[in-house]
Structure 1
Amino acid sequence: MGQGDERGPYANEMRPYAAVFVARVTARNRLPLDYSVASLRVVDFMVDGLRKGGADRKRMSGTLLALGAYVGEVLVRRAGAVWVDFDAEQRAYFGQSVGVRMPDGRVWNPLGKVFNRFELGGPEDSLQLFYLTLHGRARGTAGVTS
């Protein structure tokens, strides 16, 4: 990923980054990463497996970033979101350089959500629930952004 500075990835890199990750993972493991909402449950299981396997965040950061790109791309393809580069204030708040803007104007942090799932792993950190909450089909944690 072109990271010309320490800022992190750029919004225009996220779609191809997710596509390369999906091609690599599905070729080896035949995982159903088809950009569907249901596939986010697979991402939950993948992140849980990494955590339970004892991997540390630093060593897994590339994989977690790729999973975050995939989650964001599901939001783009299924919920009408667009990738955006965060401004300095948003980068400080979210701890990431990119996120997605939903059609209603709200900005969300799918990369951070994946890292949270890895670190915390509670049911409230489900990536499928994250999608459903953002898309308005589930209630309870609306407004939680990372």
Structure 2
Amino acid sequence: MSTVDERAPRAREMRPYAAAFVARVTAGNRLPLDYSVASLRIVDFLIDGLRKGGADRDRVRGALLGLGAYVGEVLVRHAGAVWVDYDADQRAYFGQPVGVRMPDERVWNPLGKVRNRFDLGGPDESLQTFYLTLHGRARKAAA
């Protein structure tokens, strides 16, 4: 089990952290990180690129944290999640200080999911598939 990264922002800081990350990585290019569910496929490609480039996790820790914040923010915006600070047991289990709580009260770990994609790769760790198969999402209200 990995130790908790104490440098990660707290729940109340995750939305601005994700926004700053997106602004930084999209400045001067057309990287379509628009918080859409479809953009999670781009996150998969970005993480795969880091893996194929031979980067070790310590070297890309900041990028993975930013991508995890982005994935969590997609859950907040489209699945009805809210950012939460984990309690001590959750911190020990997930190895992260923050995550998201879904409308059905399930807690998910987008930062850890991004880390798993980097460490393990492959279609089983897809962030887009994670969202599409996620339990506890809010149902879209009729317009």
Scaled by the length of structure 2, the TM-score of the pair is 0.88
Q: Provide the secondary structure at the position in 1 that maps to 2:67.
A: helix
Which letter does structure 2 place at the counterpart of 1:50? L
Give the Cα–Cα distance (whole angstroms) in 2 for the partners of residues 6 and 84 of structure 1: 15
Shift of 1:7: 6.6
Give the Cα–Cα distance (whole angstroms) in 2 for the partners of residues 136 and 100 of structure 1: 11
Which letter does structure 2 place at the counterpart of 1:16? P
Identity of aligned residues (%): 83
Q: Would the alpha carbon gap of residues 136 and 100 (structure 1) be closer, same or farther in structure 2, given more than 3 Å must change?
A: closer
Which letter does structure 2 place at the counterpart of 1:47? I
Q: Would the alpha carbon gap of residues 101 and 71 (structure 1) be closer, same or farther in structure 2, given more than 3 Å must change?
A: same
Q: How does 1:64-143 map to 2 (within 5 A)?
A: 64-134=64-134
Match of 1:34 in 2: 34
Match of 2:43 in 1: 43
Q: Normalized per residue, which structure has more helix?
A: 1
CA deviations over 1:44-79 (Å, ceiling 9, x no partner): 000000000000000100100000000000000011
Gaps of 5+ in 2: 138-143
Match of 1:141 in 2: none
Q: Provide the secondary structure at the position in 2 that maps to 1:59.
A: coil
Which letter does structure 2 place at the counterpart of 1:42? I
Q: Would the alpha carbon gap of residues 42 and 11 (structure 1) be closer, same or farther in structure 2, given more than 3 Å must change?
A: same
Gaps of 5+ in 1: 138-146
Match of 1:25 in 2: 25
Match of 2:140 in 1: none
How many positions carry a matched residue from both structures? 133
Q: Provide the secondary structure at the position in 2 that maps to 1:103.
A: coil
